[in-house]
Structure 1
Amino acid sequence: MESMAKTIEKRIQREAHILCFGFPAQGHLSPILQFCKRLASKGVKVTLISTCTTSTTSKFIQTQASSIKVEFISDGTEEEKSKATSPEDYFERYKVCVSQSLSEFIEKQLNSECPPKFLVYDSIIPWIFDVAKSFGIDGAPFFTQPWAANSINYHFLQGRFKVPLEEPIVTLPSMPPLRVNDLPSYFDVNGTYPLSLDLLVNQFSNIEQPNWLFCNSFDKLEDEIVKWMASKYPVKNIGPSIPSMYFDKRLESDKAYGLSLFKPNTDTCMTWLDSKEIDSVVYVSFGSIAALEKEQMEEVAWGLKRSNSFFFWVVRESESEKLPSNFLEGTSEKCLVVSWCSQPEVLAHKSVGCFMTHCGWNSTLEALSFGVPMVAMPQLFDQTTNAKYVEDVWHVGVRVRMNEAKLVTREEIELCIKEVMEGERSKDFRRNSEKWKELAKEAVDEGGSSDKNIEEFVAKLLSS
């Protein structure tokens, strides 16, 4: 019986080989890697492609994600990259080099025993679709932002609103009224982020062509927006793309993403958290990209101290010099500061009662999925929109307010932490967070909305 099952699985793998292209950034690679694992668990062969070319990263991914194959292709030589005169020029060179190296990779795969039938690609590089189609391979984008942000990008591309805003409030289908600071940061009135605006809005430049639009979200989380988008396009949520051991446990030993561009100190983190009481710790992280100004870093530090809570703070090595002098010595009894950690393990720990976050989508979705209330302190990109939803739609936390100097003061940080940890609304935040946790688990579990979407995709692929 067992040998027959293996024979069937091998036959299926010969019939369906899926390529997935991940953009080489932490927040983009982690969710698509999890999607790859889910696809592989359905019996198809999956190859993850990226341009992270360091041998150490390659080895780590391959060790932690044995169910899939990982390949790296060239994004140009260091000499070629150094010739870029601007970010726009860099990404144009990236497009030229990756189009060529991906074409060469696909050509080799087409001559293999199990040629690819489909290519899933990061939505911020929509031109990958054209590369796939040139070889007769179908493709679909994978959105790493929520539909709230995606739909804003879509409506902007459709001309439904302009920047600078003509009115103080933007009204869009199936969304709450949005102020300018609720829109993604690349809609800045001063044109501060032109490259980001082009990259992220242009995700929808060929939206009419793919037969699937995958997204790292789940139906009930963004119910109204998903229904509106799905009435026009083939939207398929497959999230939350979070390690299986925290939810359905159907993917054996899947306790971590299997990729980290930074080295976590897991033992130290868990030992410290184990020594704290339930819901007593404020976990603080601003992700892998955001860089706070020194003055803002100091306000965060003193605000955390003033809250009088235990706090666990991830401060990347490149950011550590911004900490106030003698801060660590003066707070050592109340805090742990590390350069990186395994965030799912931390958020799943019983001692964590609040997450002070930049509201990157992976972090926001993880907090929702683990039932942890939030203090939202957005920095860039879709984070401002995510923070709006954290406070006003999902009701799982509060959003900090800046003063006239665009600074979040220590007093504001103290106030927000106390509001979430012990304020009048703290029980409501916890109750709502638990609700979203259960709905997230339901989505990825067997027969859930996200699981059904993956099953439908694989079945369609096998029948084509």
Structure 2
Amino acid sequence: METTHGSRDITPRSTTCTRIILFPLPFESHISPMLQLANILHTRGFKITIIHVEYNSPNPSNYPHLIFKPDPIKDRFYEIAGELSTRQDATYFIEYLNKSCVDPFRDCLARFLTEPSEERVACVISNSAFYFTQAVADDLKLPRMVLRTNSLESALSYYALPAYDKRACFNLTKQDNEASLPEYPFLKFKDVKKITTNPQGMRDFATNVRNQMKASSGIIWNTFKELEELALEAVSRDFSVPSFTLGPFHKYFSASTSSLIEQDRTILSWLDKQLPMSVVYVSFGSLAHITETEFQEVAHGLANIGLPFLWVVRPGMVVGSEWLESLPKNFLEKMGERGRIVKWSPQQEVLAHRATRCFWTHNGWNSTLESICEGVPMICTPRFSDQPINARYVSDVWKIGISLEDGYERVGIETAIRRVMMDQEGEEMRKRIRCLKEKVNLSLAEGGSSSQSLNNLVDYISSF
């Protein structure tokens, strides 16, 4: 399906002296794709200005080609940031930001628009979760486009969430938990418990986001047509505004440098010493937390399988621990050079490395896309938000990985790693994900679906 533009007359214009304002959500998995989009649009001739909040502000010196507003939005997020380690439901934090940022963002944007400049401002692009920005943009008569940093399928699935709490799905029997949702058969009722612990809050949030996406001037997706073609058709039917699938964003550049967390690049030399296709790579993302018991089960599972592993353990990831205090006794000494634990990794380079054979992931959309792009099968342990939806697609629809259905338990962990790393089942997954990798490359090549969608987006923004 081709990208559509509704009834708007698209007249390509020069992007010279045209500025776009971007407003990212202040979390690693959201800031990275927004900054990648900024770089993509900059290479197409647009001037880019970033407005951001105080929490997790990016370092402007890493992006000398972009303009960052010198005074971040006063978000007052520090008042609740400490609760990130105890609350896994994202709606609590995002709703707070949607309330605390309204006036500061309006004032900042209004001041910027009245400053003397030879450059016209074409539009503002905000993260879809910042739904309040639609009303602000309307008041200032500025077109607002939306960036969705998750998959098309997860966006569609969220719209079924309003009915979840009515079904009392949080009090189902074990057998009922395994049943599929009528609207989305690939999802199971037990997945809903991971998506949100706050059905009412998620219902309100999903409704607000959807309504303001429909009121926007267009939607930008970090995905590619061939991966989610049926979902793209459904989105195009549901939303009258145009959709642009120009992802995966990170593939437009050799390696992304948009991470807010310092990467340990020493592990690349360790990977160089490993045999080809021999390493299990483990990372649960930038926000997820696990218990001490779960952490120890992961350690035992990795130790018992006898394969080399690279394990990312973010400081504070284990509830109640600073970093590695909860490891089994003498774990590091016993593993020696077979295992490496780091605080953060250059993930794209790790997944692209010849030694990496399997990715054990939380299935955030960025990580899922990066694994597809490098042809690395996955083991899935989703925690919350869109992660269970992505994991179901990986294991049950695309069949390029397996889900750890019983959570973090050492015997199940060993079995899952063996299936992906050693069994014929893993080889079949590898063939399928390599086919998707090839589709990624074709979509980004000249004339491919993502390349054409980017051209359409450039023309569309230039027509404002």
Give the TM-score of the pair, scaled to structure 2: 0.85
**Which of 40, 43, 63 in structure 1 is aligned with 2:61?**
63
The residue aligned with 1:395 is 399
- Aligned pair 1:357/2:361, yes or no? yes
The one-letter code matched in structure 2 to 1:235 is S
* Contact 2:75/2:100 (8 A) holds in 1: yes
The residue aligned with 1:179 is 188
**Which of 166, 175, 181 in structure 2 is aligned with 1:170?**
181
Distance in 1 separating the partners of 2:21 and 2:267: 35
* Contact 1:220/1:439 (8 A) holds in 2: yes
Is the partner of 1:105 in helix, strand or coil? Answer: helix
Larger CA deviation: 100-109 vs 27-36 = 100-109
* Contact 1:396/1:432 (8 A) holds in 2: yes
The one-letter code matched in structure 1 to 2:73 is S
Please show how residues 355-394 of structure 1 align to structure 2 within 5 Å: 355-394=359-398
Offset, 1:65: 2.9
The one-letter code matched in structure 1 to 2:45 is G
Distance in 2 separating the partners of 1:185 and 1:383: 8
Residues 105, 13 of structure 1: alpha-carbon distance in 2 compared, 3 angstrom cutoff: farther
- Aligned pair 1:145/2:154, yes or no? no
The one-letter code matched in structure 2 to 1:262 is I
- Aligned pair 1:109/2:107, yes or no? no
Is the partner of 1:117 in helix, strand or coil? Answer: strand
Larger CA deviation: 443-452 vs 332-341 = 443-452
Larger CA deviation: 200-209 vs 415-424 = 200-209
The residue aligned with 2:32 is 30
Larger CA deviation: 160-169 vs 367-376 = 160-169
Is the partner of 2:314 in helix, strand or coil? Answer: coil
* Contact 2:51/2:68 (8 A) holds in 1: yes
Is the partner of 2:213 in helix, strand or coil? Answer: coil
Moved over 6 A (4+): 78-84, 86-90
- Aligned pair 1:244/2:247, yes or no? no
Offset, 1:243: 4.5
Is the partner of 1:217 in helix, strand or coil? Answer: coil
The residue aligned with 2:310 is 312
- Name stretches of at least 5 consecutive residues in structure 1 with no aligned partner: 1-9, 247-254
* Contact 2:53/2:72 (8 A) holds in 1: yes
The residue aligned with 1:436 is 436
The residue aligned with 1:455 is 455
Once the two structures are superposed, residues 124-147 of structure 1 have per-residue CA deviations (whole angstroms, 9 ceiling, x without a partner) of: 111111111111101122111111
Once the two structures are superposed, residues 246-295 of structure 1 have per-residue CA deviations (whole angstroms, 9 ceiling, x without a partner) of: 4xxxxxxxx22x333321111x1111000011110000000111111111
Distance in 1 separating the partners of 2:62 and 2:352: 20
Distance in 1 separating the partners of 2:341 and 2:82: 38
Offset, 1:101: 2.0
Over the aligned positions, Cα root-mean-square deviation in angstroms equals 2.7
The residue aligned with 1:329 is 333
Distance in 1 separating the partners of 2:252 and 2:361: 23
* Contact 1:21/1:50 (8 A) holds in 2: yes
* Contact 1:285/1:357 (8 A) holds in 2: yes
* Contact 2:357/2:377 (8 A) holds in 1: yes
Distance in 1 separating the partners of 2:287 and 2:404: 20
Is the partner of 1:13 in helix, strand or coil? Answer: coil
The residue aligned with 2:7 is none
**Which of 155, 160, 176 in structure 2 is aligned with 1:155?**
160
* Contact 1:186/1:196 (8 A) holds in 2: no
* Contact 2:161/2:199 (8 A) holds in 1: no
* Contact 2:77/2:97 (8 A) holds in 1: no
* Contact 1:184/1:381 (8 A) holds in 2: no
Is the partner of 1:119 in helix, strand or coil? Answer: strand
Offset, 1:214: 1.4
Distance in 1 separating the partners of 2:387 and 2:91: 22
Distance in 2 separating the partners of 1:131 and 1:262: 31
Larger CA deviation: 294-303 vs 444-453 = 444-453
Once the two structures are superposed, residues 16-64 of structure 1 have per-residue CA deviations (whole angstroms, 9 ceiling, x without a partner) of: 211111000000000111111111111111122221457xx543xx333
* Contact 1:183/1:385 (8 A) holds in 2: no
- Name stretches of at least 5 consecutive residues in structure 2 with no aligned partner: 1-12
Distance in 1 separating the partners of 2:92 and 2:154: 26
Distance in 2 separating the partners of 1:180 and 1:457: 37
Is the partner of 2:20 in helix, strand or coil? Answer: strand
* Contact 2:279/2:355 (8 A) holds in 1: yes
Distance in 2 separating the partners of 1:17 and 1:281: 45
Offset, 1:97: 3.9
**Which of 286, 289, 309 in structure 1 is aligned with 2:287?**
289
Once the two structures are superposed, residues 174-193 of structure 1 have per-residue CA deviations (whole angstroms, 9 ceiling, x without a partner) of: x5442113447235xxx456
Offset, 1:228: 1.5
* Contact 2:128/2:213 (8 A) holds in 1: no
Is the partner of 1:17 in helix, strand or coil? Answer: strand
**Which of 15, 18, 22 in structure 2 is aligned with 1:12?**
15
Residues 217, 89 of structure 1: alpha-carbon distance in 2 compared, 3 angstrom cutoff: closer
The residue aligned with 1:123 is 128
Greater RCO (CA < 8 Å, at least 6 residues apart)? 2
Q: How many pairs were matched up? A: 429
- Aligned pair 1:229/2:228, yes or no? no
* Contact 2:51/2:73 (8 A) holds in 1: no
Residues 283, 200 of structure 1: alpha-carbon distance in 2 compared, 3 angstrom cutoff: farther
Give the TM-score of the pair, scaled to structure 1: 0.85
Offset, 1:443: 2.2
Once the two structures are superposed, residues 155-195 of structure 1 have per-residue CA deviations (whole angstroms, 9 ceiling, x without a partner) of: 335x59944249832133xx5442113447235xxx45654
Residues 141, 78 of structure 1: alpha-carbon distance in 2 compared, 3 angstrom cutoff: closer
* Contact 2:94/2:129 (8 A) holds in 1: no
- Aligned pair 1:136/2:136, yes or no? no
Please show how residues 251-270 of structure 1 align to structure 2 within 5 Å: 255-256=255-256, 258-266=257-265, 268-270=266-268
Distance in 1 separating the partners of 2:347 and 2:82: 37
Distance in 2 separating the partners of 1:381 and 1:261: 21
